[in-house]
A and B are shown apart, each in its own frame.
Chain A
């Protein structure tokens, strides 16, 4: 071999090829992708990229090269969308829940779905405890009372209730539910749970159905995934079973609770109180709840801290990098 073979040396003026993988950002107009991923990925956003072009046309034009998409917030991933994107092989969820993604459709088409793993679990569990303490000890109501200047005029403020010794029933003992349980044990609560399947390693009492759980609980904490089976899992029978002093905490999904019934039970004093981070038609909240001091209302924030956002950004990036280098995904949703 000769050392004098011609070598094609690129000149300094050539543009560098863009090696960043292409990813579609799928969102509703109200939501934005909260992290800047442009150093690693080339992001396509039909809403912001193409002001005049209808999103459908934009998608059709780019479809052949779109192999992965990120969902932001509850933008639905359904058959209609997937029909427009025949090259997609990966759907990356960015929220704790994946109920907005049609998992059956994805499985049918051989599309993998990843979720946020446990990026949000600790924060959601913290928030469930926060809501519970707030309801039991009237924290938000008392803060309102103080800020209205009422304390000097009404020296005796209504008493709250002791959390220690209370029976807490957790609906869904997944990564969030088990973190909730671990925290509440330290407050002296007695933990029981309902789940699709009994968890043999869980040191808590199992109830095969939610009504049984409610009858044996002072508090119900809802932290399961929303599926067809769990829609309105907290219904009037469960609320009746929980009873007058009972408290419901929801950090799962709005549709896990029959909201109309919940409002009735609360306004009639048939359950003791509620801490709600989610509602059936966010951001609409039944206004009957606004006058109740035994209800704590929150605008869908249980999982959302600067720390969890950093964690979910890492999960999303890791899943996308794994996909584009043909490596195993970090947090694939297991199809059942």
Chain B
């Protein structure tokens, strides 16, 4: 398989790079000085693309790679891939569901606790020496608060299961109510937001869910409400979110994703009721290894004419 050209779109994992390099003819797009030149020279040998949450095979790239057979994403979110175009051209698409579900759900709860209990602010308080001059203030209890989840897929359900262990009543919004689920369903995000203390975004990003957290939802969540985003940056109307936080119209936010990563609105840096993470939802040694193994496993299966491990298209 060493002659098979695989194009990796951006740095994502040294382990994955090594493994791909040892099996295939690996091209690293970010090391290429002139993209058009590179594509002219090598396009005809590239049969696979490896992308992630930050970069995917869009229509332009797919058109430039006539021999493309498979897109293997190092992520569960596939909003950066032109899925319709892949279907049209018979290009397979694989992703990394399940292996990262627990870590993302763990992080959602970690963010809730960090915001409500002011963990990062407290840690700063100690490190700055401020504790010597006085105690930090009281914070807000998590146990028993109502958690509203947008999207009750694998990750949403895992968040619910964890929140239940803290005696949190669970409610949710999704396109349709789920028949065997005991949680309270709301047919709109605004109604969900009006009736929960903590709102968690856990749905896929697509045309319908773009800016699903808008001014109306933020107002409904209110000055005591907390927003947790473990989905995609574009789920949230970011300028609206920032002004709501700065003006105190929203109680707090725990964010792992942003509209224009790695850029983050600087107004958020001064806020104590906000926790900011650099897109680390699946960022554990164990899970990233499992994700890389899935990418490799899917590519090998494809080129050996075996069934794909985790196909989406």
A interface vs B, CB < 8 Å?
A: 122-123, 125-127, 129-131, 133-134, 136-140, 142-147, 151-152, 155-157, 159-164, 182-183, 185-188, 282-285, 290, 296-301, 304-309
Residue of A whose beta carbon sits closest to that of B287:
A162
The CA of A235 and the CA of B143, in the complex, are separated in Å by: 32
Residues of chain B within 8 A (CB-CB) of A152 are 262-263
Q: A130-B113, A155-B262 are in contact. Are A182 and B165 (CB under 8 A)?
A: yes
Known: A151-B264, A157-B283, A162-B286; 5 extra A-B contacts, CB below 8 A, are A122-B144, A129-B109, A139-B119, A284-B132, A297-B127
Q: Which 6 A-B pairs have the closest CB atoms?
A: A186-B165, A133-B110, A130-B113, A307-B141, A297-B126, A162-B286
Residues of chain A within 8 A (CB-CB) of B74 are none
Residue of A whose beta carbon sits closest to that of B108:
A133
Which of B111, B140, B288 makes the CB contact (< 8 A) with A307? B140
Interface residues of B in 114-166 (CB under 8 A from A): 114, 117-120, 122-127, 131-132, 135-136, 138-144, 161-162, 164-166
**Is the CB–CB distance between A130 and B166 below 8 Å?**
no
**Is the CB–CB distance between B102 and A162 below 8 Å?**
yes
The yes or no answer to B280 lying at the interface (CB within 8 A) is: yes
22 A-B contacts (beta carbon < 8 Å): A122-B141, A126-B141, A127-B117, A130-B110, A131-B119, A133-B109, A134-B110, A137-B106, A139-B119, A140-B114, A140-B119, A140-B120, A142-B276, A143-B114, A151-B278, A155-B262, A161-B286, A162-B106, A164-B102, A299-B122, A300-B135, A304-B139
Q: How far in angstroms is the closest Cβ of chain A from B131? A: 4
Residues of chain B within 8 A (CB-CB) of A155 are 11, 262
The yes or no answer to B103 lying at the interface (CB within 8 A) is: yes
**Is the CB–CB distance between A304 and B138 below 8 Å?**
yes
**Is the CB–CB distance between A301 and B139 below 8 Å?**
yes
Residue of A whose beta carbon sits closest to that of B135:
A299
Residues of chain A within 8 A (CB-CB) of B144 are 122
B interface vs A, CB < 8 Å?
A: 11, 102-103, 106-107, 109-111, 113-114, 117-120, 122-127, 131-132, 135-136, 138-144, 161-162, 164-167, 261-264, 269, 275-278, 280, 283-288
Residues of chain A within 8 A (CB-CB) of B164 are 186
**Is the CB–CB distance between B143 and A122 below 8 Å?**
yes
Residues of chain A within 8 A (CB-CB) of B138 are 304-306, 309
The CA of A157 and the CA of B285, in the complex, are separated in Å by: 12
Residue of B whose beta carbon sits closest to that of A31:
B135
Which of A133, A162, A285 makes the CB contact (< 8 A) with B285? A162
The CA of A159 and the CA of B283, in the complex, are separated in Å by: 5
Q: How far in angstroms is the closest Cβ of chain A from B60? A: 23
Q: A297-B126, A297-B127 are in contact. Are A142 and B277 (CB under 8 A)?
A: yes
Q: How far in angstroms is the closest Cβ of chain B from A285? A: 6
**Is the CB–CB distance between A298 and B106 below 8 Å?**
no
The CA of A305 and the CA of B285, in the complex, are separated in Å by: 34
Which of B119, B140, B142, B143 makes the CB contact (< 8 A) with A298? B119
**Is the CB–CB distance between A157 and B102 below 8 Å?**
no
Residues of chain B within 8 A (CB-CB) of A140 are 114, 119-120, 123
Q: How far in angstroms is the closest Cβ of chain A from B14? A: 9
**Is the CB–CB distance between A146 and B278 below 8 Å?**
yes
Which of A146, A283, A301 makes the CB contact (< 8 A) with B122? A301
Which of A151, A160, A301 makes the CB contact (< 8 A) with B283? A160
**Is the CB–CB distance between A147 and B276 below 8 Å?**
yes
Q: A139-B111, A156-B11, A296-B123 are in contact. Are A183 and B166 (CB under 8 A)?
A: yes
Residues of chain B within 8 A (CB-CB) of A163 are 102-103, 106
Q: How far in angstroms is the closest Cβ of chain A from B249? A: 20
Residues of chain A within 8 A (CB-CB) of B127 are 290, 297
**Is the CB–CB distance between A186 and B126 below 8 Å?**
no
The CA of A127 and the CA of B123, in the complex, are separated in Å by: 13
Residue of B whose beta carbon sits closest to that of A157:
B278
Residue of B whose beta carbon sits closest to that of A184:
B165
The CA of A188 and the CA of B286, in the complex, are separated in Å by: 15
The CA of A312 and the CA of B136, in the complex, are separated in Å by: 19
**Is the CB–CB distance between A306 and B140 below 8 Å?**
yes
Residues of chain B within 8 A (CB-CB) of A187 are 102, 106, 109, 162, 165
